[in-house]
Amino acid sequence: SRFETCWPALMKDSHGVIIIFNPELPSHLKEIEMWYSCFVQQQPLLDSQCLLVAHHKPGSARDMEDLSLAYPLNKLKLIHSNLEEDPEDVRMEFIKYFRSIITIINESREREEMSIIS
């Protein structure tokens, strides 16, 4: 992609990655593997620092809820967003995700401080 040269700058010091995709596009399902590989595995970030969001357009098929992703994507937290039907659910999931990232940051900061002290 023409933005690949910017990726190192985007990744620098990042603590989390949210990948939003359209589950109805087969090309997106292939692309999220690449995004995961570049932005999560190569950094490296923990899988818990990555959130997958399958975004459903208004009026799209609802049977997508049983979307099954192949390894290693199936290890990641996956939420379905449909802002028409339940925006509140999505909001709560985002809050949970951000809380978990803050916990990870705080824990790593504490470990750093302890290693400086000892």
Q: pLDDT tens for the chain, 118 residues: list them.
A: 567 788 888 888 889 999 999 998 888 888 999 999 999 998 889 999 999 999 988 877 655 567 888 899 999 999 998 877 778 889 999 999 999 999 999 999 999 999 998 7
Tell me the two tokens of residue 22.
């359209």
Residues 103, 18, 53, 34: is their CA dihedral positive or negative? Answer: negative
CA distance 48 to 33: 16
Q: What is the pLDDT of residue 64?
A: 57
Tell me the two tokens of residue 47.
């899988």
Residues comprising the chain, all counted: 118
Q: Which residues contact 7 (CB under 8 A, 6 or more apart)?
A: 38, 39
Q: Which pTM value belongs to this model?
A: 0.83
Cis peptide before 44 (omega within 30 of 0): yes
Tell me the two tokens of residue 96.
């949970």
Q: What is the pLDDT of residue 63?
A: 57
